[in-house]
Structure 1
Amino acid sequence: MTPAGGEGRVRAHLTLKVTAMARTPPPFAAFEWKIAWRYLRARRAEGGVSTMTWISLIGITLAVFALIATLSVRSGFRAEFVDTILGANAHASVYASAREDEFGRVVRTFPDYAERAARVAEVPGVDRAAPLVKGQVMANANGRNAGVEVFGIAAEDLAGIRRIVDPETGRGDLARFGEGLALGSGVARELGVEVGDQVRLISPEGVKTAFGVSPRVKAYEVVWIFTAGRYDIDRTRAYMPFDEAQLYFNREGVADELEVMVSDPEAVRGLAQPIAEAAGAGAMIWTWQDASGGFLRALEVEDNVMFVILSVLVLIATMNIVSGLIMLVKNKGRDIGILRTMGLTEGSVLRVFFICGAFTGVIGTALGVVLGCLFAIYIDPIFSFVNYVAGGGVWDPSIRGIYALPAKLQAGDVFSAMALSLGLSFVVTIFPARRAARMNPVEALRYE
């Protein structure tokens, strides 16, 4: 063997190697997709597992649909609950600490409420601050009684409470608020009254006489009936002009609290200290997050638990892909041996069976996303149909607090469901695909 001859053989070997590398198809080449598609369409007589593929597809579709539907209802319920709080209640309330008046009585009122409200309204981030007079009375009409919490508020301040003055859900004439009462729809229904009817309010803290305090009874016209969207608000609340409430509840010259509305309700905690300082000495603040924080935290815990549980459902659905692929690899052992002897690499075989499993996961996820989004978008007619089939009473607002099952479709929830389903589908597909790629072609063809 001459050196020249050795160099020639080395050169030839390198040339063949470079040529082979140049002819090596790229990953996920067209023929790999064709083989995978052929296996997915194969009939059982040809060794296919189309039935198992359909089972996997349906399972993933239903799991993703359930996950998106649950996440959308969760988001909708929280959004509706928070919106009813912020749309019908103060974002922050400023109370007076206990003090003694000139007669030695312990009172919790603001005699200088106008000045305090003006200072609070000047705090950056505060939209308005309104003095309130509050009291609990018995409302009577048509021989019916109902316990009512009355809010005394000025007409211009009432106009800033979005859920109360919404013309789409309310009825009556708000321009006449100074002449009567604004009643919640639940109170009006309980008393059997409509706009223009008279309602008597009975307060145990009425006129002071030499023989004690006698109940105060006074009739008012109903000028506005509102629906705030919360059963407990509509069922117990009424609004009265501020000046009239001061007279009716013996609060001449004072206010019980200040109602504060801010630009960003979610950031109200950061404004608590500036508001308290602006309100002055003896002022205490209570935000909507303080009042409803426990419920919102419970919702958050429930959301996390539900996501974990439904994630397990998605995992179980994707495990059907593993079963289908294992059966497919077993049935296609002869084909794998032939393909390997024809020159297919382990990587090509792995990608063929990975495509088979991933295709099922992608299609199932896509169908589940479509169904979940349609459910969230058309939840009202769907819920109405379920309520009709069940004969009514499926949703009790006295227990749930809101009047209907809400749903809010959020891109983050849809993305989370898609990422979870696709991620699990791709991961579980790798193991049976690797088994197919490592199959020995000699063993596969030994008994053929």
Structure 2
Amino acid sequence: MTQAKSTKPFSRFEWKIAWAYLRARREEGGVSVMTWISLIGITLAVAALIITLAVRTGFRDEFVATILGSNAHVTVYSSIYVNEAGQTARTIPDYAQWAKSLAAVPGVTRAAPLVKGQVLASYRGSNAGVEIYGIAPDDLMTIPRVAITPDDHWGDVTRFAQGVAIGSGVARELGVTVGDKIKLISPDGAKTAFGTSPRVSSFEVVYVFSAGRYDIDKTRVYLPFSEAQTYFNRGDTADEIEVMVTHPEAVDDMTLPLLQAVGERGLVWTWRDASGSFLRALDIEDNVMFVILSVLVLIAAMNIVSGLIMLVKNKGRDIGILRTIGLTEASVLRIFFICGSLTGVVGTLFGVLIGSLFAIYIDQIMSFVNWMNGGGAWDPSIRGIYALPAELRAADVFKAVSLSLGLSFVVTIFPARRAARMNPVEALRYE
């Protein structure tokens, strides 16, 4: 017998034979049915992985953006001390100097004194518990999600010195709009001979904002700094200093310089301290979801193995003939490798297309789902944000494609090797 000569890897005839096997008719063993099952499985698994990665990235980015866009990146406050009246206090009497020193730290974009307190807001019998932020008008203008680029807003923020700015959730719960006057009721009011009487003051609503976070919009009310000092009996002090930095993700590197700027009485609390546990929970959930969906991709890839095993069994006579006329083991292996890997490649491409389209048009899809459910498909009071975001990143798509193709190529090798090692004499003995 003439020894088989090696052929050029992935020659044209190898592709033609593999393509012919992939298009095999039902009466030839049902291979085409298994091919379609494998193709659909890979497509759905890759699409699900890309959609999950896009939603995960979008949700995290939107959550962090709403935190950084409407809250302090770093809060600087005072440790407990004894004031001139012999009472313990945590207010900051020299807040102007603290703010000036903090603003001079490299990387700090703004340092704003705040007066904070919780009160009851009331309007025509409707009541809501709110959190007051006493802030200077110029400082309010620099808050991105409130004054610069809010999700939505009503009224004129430049009139803030003449009234209050409230979140859209507060406005909705009280039933107020721009121009209405709300009452702010604090139990810690004026001290009289008969005890402490509640403090009740009326303020005009001059601005309504939506910061993109349900919990912020539902509770936050901004009051001019001097008005807040009077209302909460703070005198000429502040409760804390709100600090914004250039690079919030590297805020941990800023804590020491900020502490050095205010002296030994200062304490800091970063946005990572406030939301770190939630972000860590998101990271854990992301990793778990990726592992679960990777298993789904593996299960879909295993369908390729089933289809190839059936194909090898049905094409045993063909393999014997091909080996007899001179094809090498390597050439037979490549033919069946092409059959399996081509299914994985096509399924991956379709999965990328479907997953990317879903991520791009997620707003329209969620609107349709919400309409089908009669509303309430996305509850902002639970999720915190108002819509399901998705951000399609090339790195996430590459990760999904690499996983799918890698698994498809690996699982294809084993049945392809079985076909290549088939003895042509045994394959043709009973034909």
TM-score strictly above 0.5: yes
Aligned to 1:58: 40
> Do 1:48 and 1:331's aligned partners in 2 also have CA atoms closer than 8 Å?
no
Distance 1:251 1:80 in 2: 35
> Do 2:10 and 2:334's aligned partners in 1 also have CA atoms closer than 8 Å?
yes
Structure 1 residue identity aligned to 2:423: N
Deviation of residue 153 (structure 1)?
0.5
Distance 2:150 2:61 in 1: 21
Q: Deviations over 1:89-109 (max 9, x none)?
A: 000000111111122221111
Aligned to 1:198: 181
Deviation of residue 180 (structure 1)?
0.3
1:261 aligns with 2:261: no
1:218 aligns with 2:201: yes
1:341-420 map, 5 Å: 341-420=324-403
Q: Deviations over 1:109-133 (max 9, x none)?
A: 1111111111111111111111001
SS at match of 1:151: strand
Q: Deviations over 1:317-374 (max 9, x none)?
A: 0000000000000111111111111111000000000000000000001111111111
Aligned to 1:86: 68
Deviation of residue 202 (structure 1)?
0.8
Q: CA RMSD in A?
A: 1.3
1:294 to 249, 259, 277: 277
Aligned to 1:7: none
Aligned to 2:7: 25
> Do 1:64 and 1:365's aligned partners in 2 also have CA atoms closer than 8 Å?
yes
1:176 to 139, 148, 159: 159
1:35-434 map, 5 Å: 35-47=17-29, 49-165=31-147, 166=149, 169-434=152-417
Distance 2:150 2:348 in 1: 42
> Do 1:40 and 1:48's aligned partners in 2 also have CA atoms closer than 8 Å?
no
Structure 1: 4+ residue segments shifted above 3 A: none
Deviation of residue 46 (structure 1)?
3.5
Give the fraction of aligned pairs with identical amino acids, expressed as a percent: 70
> Do 2:145 and 2:151's aligned partners in 1 also have CA atoms closer than 8 Å?
no
Deviation of residue 281 (structure 1)?
2.6
Distance 1:253 1:438 in 2: 89
Structure 1 residue identity aligned to 2:306: S
- Mind listing any 5+ residue stretches in structure 2 that lack a counterpart? none
Q: Deviations over 1:415-443 (max 9, x none)?
A: 11111110000000000000000011111
Deviation of residue 207 (structure 1)?
1.9
Distance 1:281 1:254 in 2: 18
Give the TM-score of the pair, scaled to structure 2: 0.97
Structure 2 residue identity aligned to 1:259: E
Q: Deviations over 1:187-226 (max 9, x none)?
A: 0001100001000111112223233322111110000001
* Residue-pair matches, total: 429
Deviation of residue 168 (structure 1)?
5.1
Give the TM-score of the pair, scaled to structure 1: 0.94
Structure 2 residue identity aligned to 1:267: A
1:438 aligns with 2:421: yes
More deviation in 340-349 or 161-170?
Answer: 161-170
Structure 1 residue identity aligned to 2:328: T
More deviation in 327-336 or 389-398?
Answer: 389-398
